[in-house]
């Protein structure tokens, strides 16, 4: 579990990016941080792995104050995936992924074997192993980014708008694969997006932020859609809320039907 207790981040110029945040992020689930641009999502995410230090309050990971863990040790247990995948342009796909097991002390051969297994896991054709990132589509690059983040097998994964640079169809398939992967891996995932549909599709819990870095609501997606806590949340969910809610309910029904069919 990851907790924020009274956490404020004030940058050097006085900008309050996150304001007195209290949040409990459950283990083994996907928690989505959603909200308009500049509301403090990335700052919140980065306080977990100490890329950003909190000005006030306490962030804990599994009961330990992150300030008591040195950053390299902390980050070994926390994968990080960003929008443009952040790949090394001059290394092949395989070596982009193999870098991580190699840094963890595997020899080159073992590191590459692990990288191949990870490519398979995230649905990347083995034929891409020798290509460079620029020779892949945006969606494929994102898969490489996810594979690399998984390479250290960290219990926690931070994902900052990982799918937002790809077109809607590729995005939907990345989301589906990500949900499938998570159902096998059961990582603690903190996922940032500004897309409420993505939040509802992926989140076990959704934290809605508003500008000024204030948490507007933190709840399960069905509850968020059914009972927005404020006018801000209602507006953010938008006019299609009824439709979204219907779609969400239908998806739940379909899932339940599939589960029941599988049990029979």
Ligand X SMILES: Nc1ncnc2c1ncn2[C@@H]1O[C@H](COP(=O)(O)OP(=O)(O)OP(=O)(O)O)[C@@H](O)[C@H]1O
40 binds ligand X (CB under 6 A): yes
Q: Binder to ligand X among 34, 39, 124, 136 (CB under 6 A)?
A: 39
3-state SS, one letter per residue, for 30-95: EEEEECCCCCCHHHHHHHHCCCCCCCEEEEEECCEEHHHCCHHHHHHCEEEECCCCCCCCCCCHHH
Select the residue interacting with ligand X from 3, 38, 123, 197 (CB under 6 A).
38
Q: Does the footprint of ligand X cover residue 15 (CB under 6 A)?
A: yes
193 binds Mg ion per the rule CB under 5 A: no
Separation in Å, CA 19 to CA 8, 10, 23, 48, 235: 5, 8, 12, 15, 21
Q: Does residue 44 interact with Mg ion by CB under 5 A? A: no
Considering CB under 6 A, how many residues would be counted as binding ligand X? Answer: 12
Residue 43 binding: pick among Mg ion, ligand X, none (C-beta 5-8 Å cut-off by kind): ligand X
Residue 42 engages ligand X in binding (rule: CB under 6 A): yes
Q: How far is the CB of 95 from Mg ion (least distance, A)?
A: 28
Q: Name the residue nearer to ligand X (CB basis): 97 or 208.
A: 208
Which of residues 18 and 149 has its CB atom nearest to ligand X in the complex? 18
Identify what 17 binds: ligand X, Mg ion, none; CB under 5 to 8 Å per kind.
ligand X
The least CB distance from residue 7 to ligand X, in Å, is 13
Collect all residues with Cβ–Cβ distance below 8 Å to 41 and sequence separation of at least 6.
33, 34, 35, 160, 192, 194, 209
Q: Which of 25, 32, 42, 143 binds Mg ion (CB under 5 A)?
A: 42
- Rank residues 54 and 97 by Cβ distance to Mg ion and give the closer one: 54
The secondary structure of 197-232 as a DSSP string is HHHHHH-SEEEEEETTTEEEEEE-HHHHHH--SSHH
Closer residue to Mg ion, CB minimum distance, 31 or 42? 42
Q: Which helix (H) or strand (E) holds 259?
A: helix 241-263
φ, ψ for residue 152, nearest 5 deg: -85, 5
The one among 11, 90, 107, 226 contacting ligand X by CB under 6 A: 11
Q: Does 210 bind ligand X (CB under 6 A)?
A: no
Window of 36-44, 60-68, 122-130, 151-159 that interacts with ligand X by CB under 6 A: 36-44
Tell me the C-alpha distance between 133 and 140, whole Å.
Answer: 9
The residue within the footprint of ligand X, chosen from 187, 194, 201, 205 (CB under 6 A), is: 194
Kindly tell me which of 133 and 213 has the beta carbon lying closer to ligand X.
Answer: 213
CA distance 253 to 259: 10
Core vs surface per residue 74-91: b (16+ CB within 10 A) or e: bbebbbbbbbebbbeeee
Say whether residue 17 binds ligand X (CB under 6 A): yes
From the CA atom positions of the chain, what is the Rg in Å? 19
Binding residues vs ligand X (CB under 6 A): 11, 13, 15, 17, 37-43, 194
């Amino acid at each position: 579990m990851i907790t924020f207790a009274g956490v404020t981040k004030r940058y050097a110029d006085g900008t309050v990016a996150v304001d007195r945040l209290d949040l409990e992020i459950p283990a083994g689930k996907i928690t989505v941080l959603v909200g308009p641009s500049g509301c403090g999502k990335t700052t919140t995410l980065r306080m977990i792995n100490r890329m950003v230090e909190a000005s006030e309050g306490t962030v804990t990971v599994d009961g330990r104050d992150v300030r008591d863990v040195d950053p390299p040790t902390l980050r070994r247990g926390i994968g990080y995936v960003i929008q443009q995948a952040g790949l090394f342009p001059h290394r092949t796909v395989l070596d982009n992924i193999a870098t991580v097991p190699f840094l963890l002390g595997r020899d080159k051969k073992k590191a590459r074997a692990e990288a191949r297994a990870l490519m398979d896991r995230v649905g990347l054709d083995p034929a891409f192993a020798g290509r460079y990132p620029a020779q892949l589509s945006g969606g494929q690059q994102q898969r490489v980014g996810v594979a690399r983040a998984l390479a250290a097998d960290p219990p926690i994964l931070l994902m900052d708008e990982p799918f937002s640079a790809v077109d809607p169809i590729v995005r939907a398939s990345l989301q589906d694969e990500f949900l499938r992967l998570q159902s096998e891996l059961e990582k603690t995932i903190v996922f940032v997006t500004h897309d409420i549909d993505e939040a509802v599709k992926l989140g076990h819990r959704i934290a809605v932020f508003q500008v000024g870095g204030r948490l507007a609501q933190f709840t399960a997606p069905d509850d968020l859609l059914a009972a927005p806590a404020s006018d801000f949340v209602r507006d953010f969910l938008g006019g299609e809320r009824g439709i979204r809610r219907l779609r969400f309910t239908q998806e739940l029904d379909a899932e339940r039907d599939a589960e029941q069919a599988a049990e029979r």
